Structure 1
Amino acid sequence: MDDQRPFNEAVATALHRRLLSKGEFVPYTVERMFDGPVCLCDDFLNGREEYVPAAYIRDALGGQRGSSTYDRYCRYLGRHGADEAAVRRSVSQMIVCDALLANSDRHWRNFGIIRNVDTLEIRPAPLFDSGNCLWYNVPAAALVTGEFGFAAKPFGPDPSTQLAFADSLDWFDASRLDGFVDEAAEILSQSAWATADNRLKAIRRGLERRTIEVSAAVEVLRHVRR
C-alpha cells in the first residue's frame, strides 16, 4: 500500500517551517488511524471567510494583460482588491517549494485566495496540500537509476520554466535548508512504501539534487530584471 503521501505532507511542513513564516502555510501532522497513516491539518478559515480556488480566477482572466499566465493571475488579483505584491510573494513561495519537493500535482484547485464574506477583502490562501511529491508514484526501479524527473503544475509542465516565473524571492534563504534532507529522510523512514526496495535512499539522492539545483536557480533569478 502506498502510505508515503501522508508523510510527504509532514516533509512539506518541515520545509515550509524552514523557509516561510507562520500563516503562510498550513502545517500537517501524521496520525495512525484504522489501517494506516493519515495526515491532519487545522481549518485555515475563520467563520466569516471562504476559500476561492484559483481555477475560478483563471476562468475570469479574460483579456487581462501579462507576460505569462502567472503574471496575468497576479495582475488580475491586484486589480480586484488584493495586494499584488503579496500575491506574487505567495505564488512564488508555492512555485519554489513545489520545485524543491518535486510536487507533480499543484492543480488550480489547491491554491487560491481567501475572501471575507462580509467585507469582500481578499488575500492569498496559505500553502497547503503538497502530498503528491517526492516521486511517490515512480517505480523504485526507476528511482534507483536516478530518474528524478517530474511534470510541474500549474503554469507549465517543465519545472525549470515554471521556476523562472517566480519573481518575489526575498524570503528565500538557502542556508535554512541545511539539514533538511536528513530531516525529510527521518520522516519518510516511518513509511513502509518509502522504505521498500531502496526507495528512501533514492529519494534522498533526488531531494539533495533538487535542493542544490533549485537553490542555485533562485540565486540566479534574484538578479533577473523583470
Structure 2
Amino acid sequence: MKYILMNKHIELAKIDISDLGRIDTIEDIYNTEAFPVGVIVQNNDPFSKITRDYLDKWWHSRIIPASRDGLDYILAINNVETSSALSVKSLGLSLSDQYWIKPIKSDLSWNDVNFFTNEFSTDLGASFFIKGASSIPDISLRTPDASSNGWLKKKWTIINGKRYLAKAGSGTTFQEPYNETVASKIMDVIELPHVKYSVVMEKNRPLSLCENFITPDTEFVPAAFVSNVLPKENNEKYFSHLLKCANYLNIPQTQEYIDNLLTIDFLIENTDRHYGNFGFIRDVNTLKFIGPAPIFDNGTSLWSQVPGFEIGHWQLCKPFMETQQKQIALVKNFHLKIAGLEQCEEITRQTLLQNPFISKERIDKIANCVGNRVRVLTNHIKVNLQT
C-alpha cells in the first residue's frame, strides 16, 4: 500500500509498504532535509537501494521487537504477521519523534493524529501486562505503543495531561525498574543531566515510570543514525567515528555527553548501552540539533542478569569497548559533582531494599560493589587531575 512519509506537517516521500510492513520502494522524494537523520547518507543517491534499505532499517528501529514477551498473541488477534505491520495500522506514530505515514489521498493532518496533543488508546500496551489477554475483545491501535522498541514490556500512559512511559522488569527479581531509580538518584547527587525515574506498583508488579522528554517540537535521534551520516573508515574506532559524525551535524556538547554516559555506566555496571538508547535531540521546525538527550534507559545494570557469585565482576558491555573498565579510559573530562559519589552505595542499598523480590544478601552485595566502583572511579579521577 502506498503512503506519504511525513515529518509533522512536511511531506517527505511517497513510499510503498508491503503487507508485512516492509518499505519496498521509495517512489518519490519531496524533502530530503526533513528526512530522518542518517537515512540519506552523504554522496548516496536518495533513490538508491542503500537509501531504501536505510529507511526500512530506521522504520524497524521504531517497532516492537520479536523478542518481547506476548507479541505473538497480539499479532494474532490483530490479524497481522509482523510488529511492523502492526505499526502501519497505527500510522507509525510515536512519542519519540514526529514521523508518521499518511495514506495516499487521505485528508488526515498532524493535528488530527499526533499523540503529543491528542488522547490515545492504552489497550495495546496494557494487553502485554494482562495474563489471558484474550479477555480484551478489541484492541484499538490508535496508540504509540505499536511504535515502542525494546525487549521489556512497556506502555505509554497519560497522567495529569503529561505523557509517561511505564516499563516492566524481568525474571523473578523484577530488578530493572529499581535499577532505573537507583541510576536516577545517583545522577541527582552527582549532578548529571538525566531522565528522572520512579517505581510504581501495579497489581503487585513493579514498573519504572518516566515522563517523556520529547515535545511536539523535538525528536530523539538515536546515536545509531547519527553514526550513519558519514562512512566509517576501516581502521576508525566507533567512538571516534561517532564524535566525527556529531561534529559534522553541529551537535553541541557531544564529548561531555559521552563522558557522562560512560561515568554512570561505570558506576552501575550498565551492560546494555547500545546505539539505540542514547542519542541527541533535534528541533523538528528548524531541523537543527539542540544537543544530547538526557541519560535514560539504565535498567540492565547492577548485575541484574547474573548469578550472585558474578556480582562485582566486570561484565561484557557496550557500546565502544568490551568492559566498563576499558570504557572509562575514553572519558576526556569528568563533569560530575565528586562529593555526591559518597552517597552512591547507600542510595543503591536503600532503593533496592524496596524491591520485595530480591534478597537482602544480594542487595548488600550489589551495594558494596557500587561502593567499590566509587572508590575506583575516585582514584581514577585523582590520577586524571594530576596528569
For the aligned pair, the TM-score class normalised by the smaller chain equals 0.7 to 0.9
Alpha-carbon distance in structure 2 between the residues aligned to 1:50 and 1:65: 31
- Which residue of 2 is the match for residue 156 of structure 1? 321
Q: Deviations over 1:18-54 (max 9, x none)?
A: 1225xx2100010001241000000101101111111
Check whether the contact 2:344–2:371 (CA below 8 A) recurs between aligned residues.
no
2:369 is matched with which residue: 181, 188, 206? 206
- Which residue of 1 is the match for residue 237 of structure 2? 68
Alpha-carbon distance in structure 2 between the residues aligned to 1:36 and 1:72: 41
Q: Letter of the aligned partner of 1:74 in structure 2?
A: L
Check whether the contact 2:181–2:197 (CA below 8 A) recurs between aligned residues.
yes
Is the aligned partner of 1:173 residue 2:337? yes
Alpha-carbon distance in structure 2 between the residues aligned to 1:14 and 1:58: 30
Q: More displaced, 185-194 or 86-95? A: 185-194
Check whether the contact 1:65–1:72 (CA below 8 A) recurs between aligned residues.
no
Q: Equivalent residues in 2 for 1:188-203 (5 A)?
A: 188-195=352-359, 198-203=361-366
Alpha-carbon distance in structure 1 between the residues aligned to 2:343 and 2:251: 36
Is the aligned partner of 1:102 residue 2:265? no
Alpha-carbon distance in structure 1 between the residues aligned to 2:287 and 2:386: 36
Change (3 A) 1:67 1:214: farther
Q: Letter of the aligned partner of 1:109 in structure 2?
A: G
- Which residue of 2 is the match for residue 128 of structure 1? 296
Check whether the contact 1:164–1:221 (CA below 8 A) recurs between aligned residues.
no
**What RMSD, in angstroms, separates the aligned Cα atoms of the two structures?**
2.0
Select the structure that is richer in strand: 2
Check whether the contact 1:64–1:76 (CA below 8 A) recurs between aligned residues.
no
Local SS of the residue matching 1:45:
coil
Q: More displaced, 213-222 or 95-104? A: 213-222
Local SS of the residue matching 2:215:
coil
- Which residue of 1 is the match for residue 175 of structure 2? 4
Q: More displaced, 176-185 or 45-54? A: 176-185
Change (3 A) 1:194 1:17: same
- Which residue of 1 is the match for residue 189 of structure 2? 18
Is the aligned partner of 1:220 residue 2:368? no
Query: How many residue pairs were aligned?
Result: 215
Q: How big is the shift at 1:141?
A: 4.0
Q: Letter of the aligned partner of 1:185 in structure 2?
A: R
- Which residue of 2 is the match for residue 39 of structure 1? 208
Q: Which runs of 5+ in 1 are unaligned?
A: none
Q: Deviations over 1:51-81 (max 9, x none)?
A: 1111112233414799732232123212212
Q: Deviations over 1:165-190 (max 9, x none)?
A: 11132x22322112221121011001
Change (3 A) 1:10 1:142: same
Alpha-carbon distance in structure 2 between the residues aligned to 1:48 and 1:11: 30
Change (3 A) 1:30 1:40: same
Alpha-carbon distance in structure 2 between the residues aligned to 1:151 and 1:214: 19
Q: More displaced, 64-73 or 37-46? A: 64-73
Is the aligned partner of 1:182 residue 2:346? yes
Local SS of the residue matching 2:280:
strand
Q: Letter of the aligned partner of 2:315 in structure 1?
A: F
Larger radius of gyration: 2
Alpha-carbon distance in structure 1 between the residues aligned to 2:217 and 2:304: 36
TM-score normalised by the chain length of structure 1: 0.87
TM-score normalised by the chain length of structure 2: 0.52
Alpha-carbon distance in structure 2 between the residues aligned to 1:61 and 1:150: 31
Q: Letter of the aligned partner of 2:221 in structure 1?
A: V
